[in-house]
Amino acid sequence: MASGDVGFASLIDTTVAVLTNDGRHFVGTLKGYDQATNLLLHDCHERVYSLQQGMERQMLGLQVVRGDNISVVGEVDDERDAEVNWSRVHAAPLTSITH
Amino acid sequence: MLFYSYFKTLVGKEVTVELKNDLAITGTLHSVDQYLNVKLHSVKVTNETKYPHMLSVRNCFIRGSVVRYVQLPANSIDVEILHDATRREARG
């Protein structure tokens, strides 16, 4: 499909990474979405980055993320994700979107 | 609708999308919609050491509203066609 294939149907029940406009990073299982990119994430956690220490996970459970506030939705490759030693990843938190 | 149509002709080409938070993502353009939301395949973040967040992501969706620039592949751009199209659009 050349275009128009922008829904998230193929991502349902897979792990997705969501970057929000305020620079936060959520990872969870996609359970639902709508045309406004509102997302429903199951078993969601936030990944908190800092330069001083490795990435920390904050468990959040079921989350609804409003589409307005979403910048990127990534399909997570679970195998590759498990290979990365996230607790040793030091990174500055993402800056927020400035329009 | 001009840029929507134009981006549709670039499907399958490699583009770099720079976001309004300075994150730059390179990937193969998979699809685009009326809001200029784009889907990229085989993505790679420019400056991965600074932005390791997307290390385990292969394909991604980028919301049109957060895109600052889209860098296009120079060799597949026909500037003449773009000139004509923009003039036609301006005339209405």
Indicate the pLDDT class of residue B70, thresholds 50, 70 and 90: very high
Flag residues of chain A having pLDDT under 70: 1-6
pLDDT of residue A99: 86
Which residues share a beta bridge with A26? A18, A46
User: What pTM does this model have?
Assistant: 0.92
pLDDT of residue A2: 40
Indicate the angle between helix axes B2-9 and B79-91, nearest 10 degrees: 160
Average pLDDT over residues B14-26: 97
B60 vs A71: CB contact, 8 Å cut-off? no
Q: Which domains does chain A have, with CATH numbers?
A: 8-70 (2.30.30.100)
Q: Is the complex ipTM more than 0.85? A: yes
pLDDT of residue A5: 58
B66 vs A94: CB contact, 8 Å cut-off? no
Q: Which domains does chain B have, with CATH numbers?
A: 2-91 (2.30.30.100)
| DSSP single-letter state for residue A69 | G
A73 vs B60: CB contact, 8 Å cut-off? yes
Indicate the pLDDT class of residue B76, thresholds 50, 70 and 90: confident
Indicate the pLDDT class of residue B56, thresholds 50, 70 and 90: very high
Tell me the chain B residues in contact with residue A98 when contact means C-beta distances shorter than 8 Å.
20-21
Q: What is the mean pLDDT of chain B?
A: 94
Place of tokens 């349902």: A12
Tell me the chain B residues in contact with residue A1 when contact means C-beta distances shorter than 8 Å.
31
B22 touches chain A (CB under 8 A): yes
Place of tokens 């597949």: B76
pLDDT of residue B81: 86
